[in-house]
Amino acid sequence: MVQGHGTTGARHTAMARSRPLVLSALLIGALATATGCGTDEGEGAWERSGGSGAAHAAESARSVESARAAESAAAPAPKERRSTPSGDRTAAGPASASGSASASASASASASGSGAAPSARRICSTERLKLTVGRKDVGAGNVYLPLVLTNTSNSACTLTGFPGVSLLDADGALIGEPAARRGASHSTIPLSPGGSASALLHTLNEGVTDTPCWKSATSIRVYPPDSFRAMKVAAHSFRVCGGVFDVEAVRSGGGV
């Protein structure tokens, strides 16, 4: 009975000695687990609150600043820019050349406009002219009637080309078609004060062809060359026959 009691006491003593070790081991494990959980939760909270992003941004900023510093240190020093003086021949050369060319072109234009170009001719307007008819010429089946234009002004003027001619009845209505142009245009005709030029109207004698004659005209309407105003003169029994009615360009003199 005594031995049993002693054995039991010894067992309790051994268990009592080993219990602190087990408790210590359990405590260490619990602390380790708590520490690990606390670390995970802390990092998650830090990331959600932006602490991790801010730290990363700060680290990135430090990296960028370090890279810029290294790049600035490695880059060569900028060359000193030299200002071009206002009198630099190289910089001013092209502008001066273009300016000289423009000046030359302007000078040429002025020269051509002042002395080289011929003076404009003074056209004989209707205000300067008097319209009459010359002597009618009849022969070989043709009829010619000169239209005479006389310069009544105190200065010279010119006539060039064909007049426009139409026949009118007593009511001023057009008879038939305007006269067609016949032949070539003559050179410019200068008319001094009192000078005359003429253009020939042409038709056929009655009966030369089977084409009937137009009715007799009362007046002849004439537009002098280069003029937009008409003049009128008595027709003097002129009428178109044979379907022929044309006019020649003005020429010097009063015609036939």
Residue pLDDT, tens place only, 141-155: 999 999 999 999 999
Confidence class for position 139, pLDDT limits 50, 70, 90: confident
Confidence class for position 237, pLDDT limits 50, 70, 90: confident
Say yes or no to pLDDT of 3 above 60: no
Average pLDDT of every residue of the chain? 72
Say yes or no to pLDDT of 196 above 80: yes
Burial class (CB in 10 A: 0-12, 13-18, 19+), 167: buried
pLDDT in tens, 110-130: 444 444 444 567 899 999 999
Residue 153 CB contacts under 8 Å (≥ 6 apart), including other chains: 127, 128, 193
Model pTM above 0.75: no
Q: Among 3.40.1130, 2.60.40, 1.10.3470, 1.25.40, name the CATH number for the domain at 126-252.
A: 2.60.40
Q: What share of the chain has pLDDT > 70, as a percent? A: 52
Give, rounded to a whole angstrom, the gap between the first and last alpha carbons of the chain: 188
pLDDT in tens, 97-109: 444 444 444 444 4
pLDDT value, residue 186: 83
How do the domains of the chain map onto residue ranges?
A: 2-69, 126-252
Residue 128 CB contacts under 8 Å (≥ 6 apart), including other chains: 151, 152, 153, 157
Residue 232 CB contacts under 8 Å (≥ 6 apart), including other chains: 131, 168, 219, 220, 221, 222
Say yes or no to pLDDT of 31 above 60: no
pLDDT value, residue 91: 41
Q: Which whole number is the average pLDDT over 123-138?
A: 94
